[in-house]
Amino acid sequence: MEITNEVLKDLHYRMIRIRFFEEAAGKLFENSEMPGFLHLYVGEEAVAAGVCAALRPDDQIGSTHRGHGHLVGKGGDLPKMMAELMGKADGYCNGKGGSMHICDLDLNMLGANGIVGAGAPIAVGAAFANKYRGNDTVAVVFFGDGAVNIGAFHEAANMAAALQLPAVFVCENNEYGEYTPRSKTMAIDDVVDRAAGYGMPGVIVDGMDSVAVYEATTQAVARARAGHGPSFIECKTYRYYNHHGVQIMGFKYRTDEEVDMWKTRDCIEGIERDMLAQGVMTQDEIDTIRAKVQADVDEAVEFGRNSPFPDVDTLMDDVYTVAGANS
Amino acid sequence: MSATETELRELSYLGAVNEALHQIMAEDPDVFCAGEDVGASGGVFGSFGGLQKKYGELRAVDTPISEQAIVGLGIGAAVAGLRPVVDLMFMDFIMVAMDQIANQAAKLKYMFGGKTSLPLTITTNAGAGLSAAAQHSQSLESMLAHVPGLKVVMPSNPYDAKGLLVASIRDDNPVIYAKTKTLFGTKGPCPEDLFEVPLGVANITRPGTDATIVTYGRMAGESLKAASILSSEGVDVEVIDLRTLQPMDSETIIASVKRTNRCVVVHEAVRFAGMGAEIAAQIQEEAFDYLDAPIGRVAAPFSPVPFSPVLEGAYVPDAKRIAEGVRAAVQRG
């Protein structure tokens, strides 16, 4: 597959947007400006960027508890995201959802999800709606290596294959379910081995390489659009920070050497090195893009800080859809 | 609705459900049905009979035995703008799908800041009486009514079965529509036209002055039988069929108790933390000074549903036990 310079620049842009947003969120969290739980995507940017760059705006994505990267990758509005993470009224969900439920249905991002594996059946439902309407829209199901051991995921994957739905299952295998290594929770080395059991084609991709993710997703999406059913992509990746928060855990569950090894394969450094070598971008151009994204993120932080907290009168709003309103 | 009661033809409870589905699917191309055996075989009880033949495999979908994925299918399709009806064959099976129902369907709208509606109907079949034992006989409505974001509907007769199902499907919220298995064959008047019985509006099925029975589902009919027994004893009982448990028509309950001054709540579900507890609490909050007797509860004992017909008969409340409950309330004070 030929990868154009525009695709490389697009992948790079999506990844630094995610990285800078997440780094800023982590700082706000450590500074107690962000309530609740925070699951950072730093390290895994190549997956969200590679997948989302291969999608059309009408394609849906179902997300996870580690969902910020998916929304940014799909084109999410950084100020609205930051405000939501801070529990503010101008956030994507008016401060009702927070990090674990952030969504943008206009971008067809169907929501982060606080229950591991639970986003899969919902995204499969969106895939069903596409088939029902006879369009060629595709739904992507993001999930971690931990989710494949929960029943809902298995049910959803089997249902998608049985009904031949236009779905792409993207596993972000970061090797840890919270703080437990994957080797302790599965008797297979590669998550993709499960794909055969569902009757889906499956591939393993370097999840630190956005181009590889983009290529695999493009093929799987084309297959789904053509009505040939779901595919499974296992992206081998790594999260730099903890399951929750940044570096605040009181126990050590992985070695510094392991973390450092993965950082030598950093997805952003990698694509910048390649683009410089191929003459796709100059260092000045890269610096300019980085400065622009950092300014966007800084602006988002200020927007979040300046946004008011929700009026307590809104507490009971939107528990139900009232006939005639909102529907 | 133009037809008068006398013009209405008789239809079975299950026939009313099936007719509602056929008519609303003809009316609204966004409505589809999915679940175990829903398609080719028309559902184990026949609720979905003829739908796949008429509307095809994409609108009457046979799914794997995967309750979580069945409900998730409905949620995702609803968020994407369709109006799904997904079936969980027995109310007991709802427990298998509780994450998708209680953590997902019920909360998505709220968690998303109102940015979606969720027009999802989950049909299921409740109740004992078929010797189906402890995993195919439960009445779990109070667990569902406890979750903000859900609506819970339990029709007691063919007219309501049709009208409430139409209203449930047209509603833009997740609705659990629980039929009662032992009522499937019961016949009653039901209009041929598509019509709605609005959610959240109770039905006073028998006006009375001496005591109020608040009930729903299968016990609505048993309560009317109890009222006949009591009538021959000179006790005039008002019977309220709630029809919808969430939202609950508290206004009708309170107004009735203020007239009759005595109340017994009747349901097939177990007594402890059942709907009766909520209803009794609301009455004492709103009408304490009107009460002439403690609010009674006639319900199943706190045990799993037994298998043997003799034990099951002892488990499920009936007209005789309801009448005893009302007598206790009337004789007091």
Could you give the ipTM of this predicted complex?
0.95
Q: Which residues pair with B266 in a beta bridge?
A: B298
DSSP bridge pairs for B246 = B152
Contacts of B172 in chain A (CB under 8 A): 321, 323, 326-327
Q: Residues of B with CB below 8 A from A130's CB?
A: 80
pLDDT band at B6 (very low <50, low <70, confident <90, very high): low
- Does the predicted TM-score (pTM) go above 0.90? yes
**At B4, phi and psi to the nearest 5?**
-90, 165
CB spacing of A130 vs B80 below 8 angstroms:
yes
pLDDT higher than 60, residue B216: yes
- Rounded to 5°, the CA angle B265-B266-B271 comes to 90
Task: Report which of A16, A229, A38, A248 is spatially closest to residue A127, judged by C-alpha positions.
Answer: A229
B151 to chain A: closest CA residue: A320
Given a contact cutoff of 8 angstroms between Cβ atoms, the answer to whether A233 and A171 are in contact is: yes
Residues B92 and B164 in one domain: yes
- The boundaries of the domain holding residue B183 are 9-189
H-state helical runs in chain A: 5-30, 45-53, 68-73, 78-85, 119-133, 151-162, 193-198, 210-225, 256-263, 267-278, 283-306
d(CA B23, CA A260): 63
| Whole-number Å distance between alpha carbons of B304 and B131 | 12
How many CB pairs (< 8 A) connect A and B?
Answer: 150
The H or E element that residue B222 is part of is helix B218-231
Q: Give chain A positions within 8 Å (CB) of B78.
A: 125
Q: What is the CATH number of the domain that holds B158?
A: 3.40.50.970
A159 in B contact zone (CB under 8 Å): yes
B104 and A115 within 8 Å at the Cβ level: the answer is yes
User: Residue A310's closest chain B neighbor by CA?
Assistant: B113
Task: Give the Cα separation of B68 and A117 in Å (integer).
Answer: 11
Number of domains composing chain B: 2
Q: Is A181 on the interface with B (CB under 8 A)?
A: no
- Nearest neighbour of B76 by CB, restricted to A125, A320, A326: A125
Q: Does B76 touch chain A (CB under 8 A)?
A: yes
Contact A126 B116 (CB under 8 A): no
- Residues B175 and B60 grouped into a single domain: yes
* Tokens describing residue A172: 């972000």
- Tell me which residue of B254, B68, B268 sits closest to A159, measured CA to CA: B68
B79 and B178 housed in the same domain: yes
Residues B265 and B297 in one domain: yes
Distance (Å) from the alpha carbon of B151 to chain A's nearest alpha carbon = 9
B64 touches chain A (CB under 8 A): yes
Q: Which phi-psi region, left, alpha or beta, contains residue B46 (left: φ > 0; alpha: ψ -120 to 50)?
A: left
CA nearest to B32 within chain A: A132
Nearest to A74 by CA among A41, A115, A106, A44: A106
Residues of chain A neighbouring B58 (CB-CB closer than 8 A): 131-132
Cβ neighbours of residue A225 under 8 Å, at least 6 residues apart? A136, A138, A166
Both B184 and B230 in one domain: the answer is: no
May I ask the CATH class of domain A5-308?
A: alpha beta
Residue B197 lies in a domain: no
Tens-binned pLDDT, residue by residue, of chain A (327 aa) = 899 999 999 999 999 999 999 999 999 999 999 999 999 999 999 999 999 999 999 999 999 999 999 999 999 999 999 999 999 999 999 999 999 999 999 999 999 999 999 999 999 999 999 999 999 999 999 999 999 999 999 999 999 999 999 999 999 999 999 989 999 999 999 999 999 999 999 999 999 999 999 999 999 999 999 999 999 999 999 999 988 888 756 678 999 999 999 999 999 999 999 999 999 999 999 999 999 999 999 999 999 999 999 999 999 999 999 974 433
**Chain B residues touching residue A91 (CB < 8 angstroms):** 113
B117 touches A: beta carbon within 8 Å? yes
SS3 of residue B148 by DSSP: coil
- Touching B: A residues 188-247, CB under 8 Å: none
Same domain, B109 and B253: no
Please write the tens of the pLDDT for every residue from A235-260.
Answer: 999 999 988 888 756 678 999 999 99
Q: With CB atoms and an 8 Å threshold, state whether A93 touches B76.
A: no
A62, A162, A327: residue with CB nearest B172: A327
* Residue in this structure with the two tokens 């799914």, named with its chain if needed: B63
| Edge-to-edge strands, sheet with B263-270 | B203-206, B237-241, B211-215, B263-270, B296-300
CB neighbours of A270 closer than 8 A, spacing ≥ 6?
A: A208, A209
pLDDT in tens, B299-331: 999 999 999 999 999 999 999 999 999 999 999
Whole-angstrom Cα distance, residue A170 to residue B209?
64
Measured over the CA atoms of residue A225, residue A226, residue A227 and residue A233, the dihedral's sign is negative
CATH number of the structural domain spanning residue B239: 3.40.50.920
- Among candidate residues B189, B214, B240, the one where a domain is terminated: B189
* C-alpha dist (Å) from residue B209 to A305, B206, B260: 61, 10, 5
Q: In the structure encoding, which two tokens stand for residue B8, read together?
A: 């209405």
Rounded Cα gap, residues A183 and A176, in angstroms: 9
Domain stops at, among B155, B189, B223? B189
Phi and psi at residue A156, in whole multiples of 5°?
-70, -40
Considering the domain boundaries, does residue B79 fall inside one? yes
DSSP-derived secondary structure for A69-119: HHHHHTT--HHHHHHHHTT-TTSTTTTSS-GGG--BGGGTB----SSTTTH
CB contact under 8 A, B72 and A125: yes
B4 domain-assigned: no
What's the pLDDT score for residue A239? 95
Q: Between chains, do B69 and A93 touch, taking CB under 8 Å as contact?
A: no
Taking the C-alpha atoms of residue B130 and residue B44, their distance in angstroms, rounded to an integer, is: 14
pLDDT in tens, A267-306: 999 999 999 999 999 999 999 999 999 999 999 999 999 9
